[in-house]
């Protein structure tokens, strides 16, 4: 497996683990919550990972924060069809890469 695929696998696994153990913090704290969803769509090939934000006392909305290859964080609607497709694409990609070891 080439180096780029290994780096992508490590990045996806790291972001997945990070999303399981981190809680979003309010804008007044150390980080920020998504306050609204981005309007545009991202091509799946430009996304390297994601974190789920859940509405609670700190954040007002549920969101999926997509991370791009350029380091951008994009707030998206978890109910949106294209976001669900991207999450499916990422999970399949991770599954395929894990079977290569």
CATH at 43? 2.40.50.40
82 close to 46: Cβ distance less than 8 angstroms: no
Mutual orientation of helices 81-98 and 3-21 as an angle, nearest 10°? 120
Q: What span, in angstroms and rounded, lies between the C-alpha atoms of 8 and 61?
A: 29
- Return the SS3 of 70: coil
What pTM, to 2 d.p., does this model score?
0.66
pLDDT of residue 64: 96
Domain count, the chain: 1
Closest CA to 65 of 23, 95, 37, 29: 37
Which residue range is the domain that position 56 belongs to?
A: 3-98
pLDDT in tens, 73-89: 999 999 999 999 999 99
Phi and psi angles of residue 76, each rounded to the nearest 5 degrees, phi first: -130, 160
């Amino acid at each position: 497996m080439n180096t780029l695929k290994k780096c992508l696998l490590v990045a996806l696994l790291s972001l997945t683990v990070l999303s399981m153990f981190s809680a979003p913090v309010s804008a007044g704290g150390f980080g920020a919550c998504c306050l609204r969803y981005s309007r545009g769509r991202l091509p799946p090939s430009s996304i390297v990972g994601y974190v789920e934000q859940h509405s609670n006392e700190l954040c007002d909305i549920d969101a999926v924060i997509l991370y791009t290859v350029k380091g951008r964080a994009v707030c998206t609607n978890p109910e949106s069809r294209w976001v669900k497709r991207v999450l499916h694409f990422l999970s399949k990609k991770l599954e395929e890469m894990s079977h290569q070891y």
